[in-house]
Structures are given as C-alpha cells and as structure tokens.
Chains A and B, each alone.
Chain A
C-alpha cells in the first residue's frame, strides 16, 4: 500500500484537490490533497516532510511532464491548485515557525509586457514550495523591482516576459539589481527565453518551467 506521502505526491501530480473534486475523472470519490495533508499532519508527520516528500514530489513530476510537452498549462494549473490546497494546512506551521519559510521571492512581468499566466503559475508553485512571494504584477519596471528588493533584504527575484522585444528590459532590471544588491539571486523565465539569453544578461538561472525555478532557489537557499 502506498504511503500517505506518496498518495499526496500522486494527488498533487494529478491535480486531485479533494474528495468532492471531479478532476481527474479516474480519481472520483478518492481523497485528494486536502484530506491527505490534513491526515498526514494529524498522524504526526513533520510538515517539512509533507512539503518536501509529498507536495513537492508531485509538483516535480508534473513539472517534468510539462517540460517534455506531455502535459500543458491546464494540467499544471490543476496540480498547482491541489498543492495550494495542501499548503493551507501547512501555512499555520510556517506561520508559527514550526516549519521554516524558505525565503522571500519577488516576481513580476517586466515593463512593456502584460502577460501574467506564466508569472502566476510560478508564484503558485513558489508559494506551494514554502516561499513568501511578493508579486509585482505585470508591466513592472526597474524602479518597482528595486523598491521591492530594498523592502525585502535577501530576497530572490524572478523576471518574466513573453515577448522577444520586452525580454530586452530584463537586462536593465538585472543590472540595476546587481548595482544595488549584488548578491541577489535572479531568475528569468518565459516562453522566448533561453539559457544563452540568461547568461548574456547576467541572471543567475533560466527557469524553463515553474518547478525548475523552485528547485533552483530551494537548492540555492539551503
């Protein structure tokens, strides 16, 4: 019989929110992330274990499928939503200090770009991964990012863009953050981006999908 952590991982991966949720169709009537996380905590399993060996494993699996074009944004959103349902149970433990927040992550879609689906997905996955997220919204310029970095010392920053012409703004924002807070970890993401572009503008990491963003930051802030 699968362990409860494995069940949490599977339900997260498949986007099974709770027992009443009709999605996915082949898991009707089964408990979802909501019930399983509550049960795991009442069984005395450490909240960090629930997060790292349950929820994050599931998100990791769906993230890999997304990277391979086996699933697309709707499936990823369902998984992120299921993860959020689990995080509601974990939040009191983070707030009380029983489980530790991993850090603060400032994210925004760069100036000249109004596309926010990808940015919102990353936000959800980062929150699900135990990060405090400061969302600057869309069309965010240098000043907005610098103000957020100043307000949140030690934060990591994520820049998102969809358009090839607005990703050019990323370099200016990276440079401005480097000038002000050189040690800040900066991730970039969005459909037109590549590792080469990330290297060219001096960002720390290119996150092809939300899960890679979470994995990179989680490993960088251990």
Chain B
C-alpha cells in the first residue's frame, strides 16, 4: 500500500467535541468541570467554528523505501531514531504512514487575545480546546488511514509522535522532509516545533500483522510524560 500526500479539511462540528472531553484533559473527572468554567466552555465551543481551520493529511510511503530497525526505522537512507519503545510495535509493519493534523493558527491567536485581555481562564480553556482539536483531527486521519489499509487487507498500529515516548522532537525535521512543503499549512521552526502550535505529526505502521492497542501509553514506560499526569500545563 502507498499513497501520494493527501490533505483533508475537517469541519469542527464533525469532531463532536464536548466540554467533558476537554475537562478530562484538564484533570477533572467526567462531568465535574465546575461552574462557571463549564458554562464558559459551552460558550467557547459554540464560537470555535470561526476560529479554527482544521486540516489533516497523510502519506503512506512506498513499502520498498521502508525498513524497520531495532530502535528506529529507515525511509530510503534516512534513519529515524525513535528508540525501541516505538520501533517494537512497528516491527511487523510493511510500510509506514506519516501524518499531520492541525487546529489552525486562529485558535492560538484567539487564546493569545484572551490572555492579553486578562481573561486567563478562557485563554486556558481555548488552549485546551486547541489541543483536543489537534488530537481529534489526528484521530480522524488515523481512521482514514485504517479504512484505506483495510481495503488492502492491512491493519494499522497506534500513532506515534516526535516529542513523545522518548522520540526526539528534533526528528520532526526528517519526517517533514518526506511531505510537501507547507503540507496542510504546517511549517517547522528551526527548533523543530510546528506552526500552528496546535498541531500533531507522527507515524503509523501499516501491515497485515500489526495491531492497534486500546491504550497507546501501554507501550511506554516513560512515567515522566505529562500524558501520565495529564494537566495540559
């Protein structure tokens, strides 16, 4: 299986994000976001559509260009040093898909405007919403890849991103080198950070014998990671 780079635009409403989804990311138990934050979140969710431009894209690489190693993988002659935590679930992959997803620049600007007008809580809520949108958009593109893979008798792994599971964020430069310039309107800073800020990139394994775990953090023993202590600071 292989595809050319493809970028999709995703309507905000189709992500079906609720205030409880965002509250969980902030640390609250389900349904426990107190007033007035819950009402503020509902208002922000109603306004979100005009501040976001959600795009997500992927490229499934030619299988002949992919080689999985013990602690990383090669695409052509480029070695991605993911470490064993990520290389292990990818080892049975026949090929790899690189993906990106973004909530767009507008949501960061919205949060910044609120922060500068001293509305700190709403700025934080918008920031948390932006993170949730980027993750949901990545989920959506993962589902798209899974559906394409299924038509060819393949399955997919979980998605893995530079910056997590001890995979250096600097490797994002290598990943973006295999995607078109400005793919889905996402660029990298010299220190390998994505612009817009609320963006996600990564890799997904594709093959007949790979599997997707219900809970991706199961593969990683990195107890320092904020996803184990989620507060979105």
Contacts and interface: CB of A to CB of B under 8 A. Distances in A.
A25 B36 CA distance: 8
A156 interface: no
Interface string B5-48: 00000000000000000000011100000111100000000000
A78 B40 CA distance: 14
Interface residues of B, number: 36
Given A112-B193, A114-B193, A115-B233, A165 B163 contact: yes
Interface in A92-136: 111-115, 117-118, 120-121, 124
Interface in A1-37: 22-23, 25
A72 B163 contact: no
Contact of B121 (A74, A166, A194): A74
Interface string A164-207: 11110000000000000000000000111110010000000000
B124 interface: yes
B80 to A, nearest CB: 14
Contacts of A117: 124, 127, 232-233
Interface residues of A, number: 36
A165 B189 CA distance: 16
B125 interface: yes
A22 B40 CA distance: 13
A111 B229 CA distance: 22
A17 B197 CA distance: 31
Interface in B122-181: 124-125, 127, 162-164, 166-170
B133 to A, nearest CB: 16
The 6 lowest CB-CB distance pairs between A and B, nearest first, are A118-B233, A191-B226, A192-B224, A72-B27, A77-B120, A112-B191
Interface of A: 22-23, 25, 69, 72-75, 77-78, 80-81, 111-115, 117-118, 120-121, 124, 139, 141, 162-167, 190-194, 197
